[in-house]
Amino acid sequence: MWVKLFGYLALAWGVTLTATSLLTGSWQSTPPKNRPIKQLTQEYTSSDSCQSCHPGNYASWHASFHRTMTQVASIENVATNMDGLNLSFNGTDYRVERKGPAYFVRSKPAEAPEGAFGPRVQIVLLTGSHNLQIFWTETGEGRTLGQLPFAYVVAEKKWAPMEHTFLVPPGPGQVYQNGDWNVACYNCHVTQGRQRFVSKDKYDSQVSDFGISCEACHSGGREHIEKNRNPLRRFALHWSDGEDKTIANPGRMAGPASSLVCGQCHSIWAFKSPAVEIPWSRGGAQYRPGDKELDSRWVVQPTTTDHPEERAALLKSDPHFMNERFWGDGMVRVTGRELNGVLASPCYQGKKFSCLSCHEMHPAKTDAASLHDWAHSQQMKPEVTTNQSCLQCHPGLKTPTALTAHTHHPAESAGSTCYNCHMPHTTYGLLRAIRSHQISNPSVRESTELGRPNACNLCHLDQPLAWTADRLSAWYGQKSPPLSADDHALSAGVQWLLKGDAEQRLLVAWSMGWAPAQKAAGHDWLYPFLAFELNDPYAAVRFASWKSLQSLPGFSGYDFDYTVADGKQKEAVALTYRKWWFEQRNPNGGYRPETLLEADGSFRQDLLDRMLQERNHRKVYLAE
């Protein structure tokens, strides 16, 4: 009897609890107030709703760095354990502590005692996970974000001040102010972000998804989901292999529209006018994948004449806009803006070429190892990591004979890899040189007139420009521009490293660690120059020099803190130079004079001094 009673009571209790939960919505958690939140819209349903029908595509997206572009901060997705972390920058000490599943940071003036640490501020959002991770904090002003002024350099397992992760002039400064995420970063680092300006420096920002998720490229999924609840519709599509018009598919679009799907973020763009920013702020972008234009925005190409009024207004408001983003001939010089390069490429003109000619977002193999390799190889199609990406449209160069005749390099060498000549590393980003996405032909003229290191000399670092000019003239009929005496006698790479501006110095310092360049130019002579650049005024150049030094024999794993003050760096330079001189330098000499070294490997001091006096000290600020 009592068992029956107990059973009925338990059942009644369970039903009551369940019904109460359903009716009151108590199963729904309250959204946090101190950071941007995920809020679905009429159109956007978030990637959560894609997984059940598209598990393979969801898995590849989940393995990608698009997903982790922005994440809600938790102990699971922070790149390193931050509990007990102490950092100092620009006269302020920071201490990070873990409380439960979250991290909090406190700060005080550097000279103040321990007890002066201020209140805890929660770290609420993260940007990045692969190269760098950046940390955003609550500010107490609604969903406005502040920033911990440090980035975690993932590969090095090191912390660096934010300003040391950009190619910007040296000097203390906060790279990001309160609200900058809500004004700038959210534009491209989330899916369908809505800034939702409230009042000065206060925002109520929302997103459809953190990170770049399914709907960023496929458009809002609500109609697609509603229509495809019907199994008859779904199976009709399965069997016909027809296009489902309720969802955008960049893989089925013509080249320009497909490229613009990536280019909505991966381009240099500007708002068409201040007026369009208001609806943008409230409702997010009106551009939808498949559209021919960006709607409220336009892609800024220096070499075209479209959008004349917007162009004039832009240059009036920011005269340095082009310079900070493009080389003098309009080639883009910062990373993450690949569409600008693609638009200017001859390959694009046929309307078939697009980002998906070489990259894929959803590889066929979805096992963990394959997805890991894919994510870490810039999401390249496996069949196009070789010349195949170009040979698919240029089959005439397929045979080794034809290839060698074209490149004048052995078929299996780096000089016969299409990318190395036509997509050299002349773009800067993420503390390194990155391939330009404007398919171009190398020339000496681009170096003499624009200062852009050309593909030939980025590999043949030891050769003068005149050497390159002779070959380009003999092989391709290129007319040699006027060249100085130095350009005839001295290595172009060394000249750029010593005389060049910060970007030139970085591109060359990075190239000195690039295996094909070390093979073509030799590596024995690189050490003293990389040691010298460990004390470059620009932190990013110091970083690139250090990493390149690590690639050389005898310096693997060489420790160097590229963020410390000038005095300590000078000490590091001296130690590094000594290490090279006594451990790696060839005691039999043989160093070549065009590399600014005496036969025994010491600097040709008079030339070195002159080069440094002629160094271009213009302030370089690359808006990465």
Partner 1 sequence: MNSSDRHLRFGWWSLFAFLTLGVVLEALHGFKLGWYLDVDVEMRRLMFTLAHAHGTLFALVNIAAGVTLRTVKGFELTRPASLALLWGSVLLPLGFLFGGLVIHDGDPGLGVILVPFGALLVLYGVGSAARTLDKIK
- Give the binding site for partner 1 (CB under 8 A): 52-57, 59, 231, 234-235, 238, 365-367
Q: Name the strand (E) or helix (H) holding 122.
A: strand 121-127
Q: Which residues contact 174 (CB under 8 A, 6 or more apart)?
A: 90, 147, 149, 162
Nearer to partner 1, 231 or 567 (CB): 231
Least distance to partner 1, CB of residue 53, Å: 3
Least distance to partner 1, CB of residue 363, Å: 10
Least distance to partner 1, CB of residue 90, Å: 46
Least distance to partner 1, CB of residue 364, Å: 9
Nearer to partner 1, 52 or 613 (CB): 52
Nearer to partner 1, 62 or 435 (CB): 62
CA neighbor of 435 nearest in space, from 449, 456, 420, 457? 420
Least distance to partner 1, CB of residue 208, Å: 21
Least distance to partner 1, CB of residue 235, Å: 7
Q: How many CB atoms lie within 10 A of CB 410?
A: 12
Least distance to partner 1, CB of residue 59, Å: 4
Q: How many CB atoms lie within 10 A of CB 254?
A: 12
Least distance to partner 1, CB of residue 283, Å: 31
Nearer to partner 1, 53 or 116 (CB): 53
Least distance to partner 1, CB of residue 373, Å: 15
Nearer to partner 1, 57 or 426 (CB): 57
Nearer to partner 1, 54 or 106 (CB): 54
Query: How many angstroms separate the Cα of 235 from the Cα of each of 51, 217, 229, 241, 364?
Result: 18, 24, 11, 10, 21
Least distance to partner 1, CB of residue 215, Å: 17
The phi and psi torsions of 26 (rounded to 5 degrees) equal: -70, -10
CA neighbor of 517 nearest in space, from 498, 538, 494, 501? 494
Judge residue 460's burial from the number of C-beta atoms within 10 Å of its C-beta, 0-12 exposed, 13-18 middle, 19 or more buried.
buried
- Could you tell me the two tokens for 88? 């100092």
Nearer to partner 1, 225 or 347 (CB): 225
Q: Which residues contact 588 (CB under 8 A, 6 or more apart)?
A: none
Least distance to partner 1, CB of residue 55, Å: 4
Nearer to partner 1, 200 or 229 (CB): 229
Q: Name the strand (E) or helix (H) holding 8.
A: helix 2-24
Handedness of CA 441, 447, 452, 457 (dihedral sign): positive
The C-alpha atoms of residue 506 and residue 541 are separated, in whole angstroms, by 5
The C-alpha atoms of residue 284 and residue 276 are separated, in whole angstroms, by 11
Q: Which residues contact 397 (CB under 8 A, 6 or more apart)?
A: 387, 390, 391, 403, 406
CA neighbor of 250 nearest in space, from 209, 214, 198, 200? 214
Nearer to partner 1, 62 or 120 (CB): 62
Nearer to partner 1, 50 or 520 (CB): 50
The C-alpha atoms of residue 89 and residue 159 are separated, in whole angstroms, by 11
Least distance to partner 1, CB of residue 182, Å: 35
| 582, 586, 588, 591: CA torsion to nearest 10 | -120
Nearer to partner 1, 231 or 477 (CB): 231
The C-alpha atoms of residue 528 and residue 577 are separated, in whole angstroms, by 6
Instruction: Decide: 577 and 528 in contact? Cβ < 8 Å.
Output: yes
Least distance to partner 1, CB of residue 87, Å: 39
Nearer to partner 1, 62 or 108 (CB): 62
CA neighbor of 508 nearest in space, from 477, 487, 529? 529
The C-alpha atoms of residue 151 and residue 133 are separated, in whole angstroms, by 6
Nearer to partner 1, 215 or 594 (CB): 215
Nearer to partner 1, 52 or 86 (CB): 52
Least distance to partner 1, CB of residue 126, Å: 25
Q: What is the DSSP letter of 359?
A: B
Judge residue 553's burial from the number of C-beta atoms within 10 Å of its C-beta, 0-12 exposed, 13-18 middle, 19 or more buried.
exposed
| 451, 457, 461, 463: CA torsion to nearest 10 | -100
Judge residue 154's burial from the number of C-beta atoms within 10 Å of its C-beta, 0-12 exposed, 13-18 middle, 19 or more buried.
middle
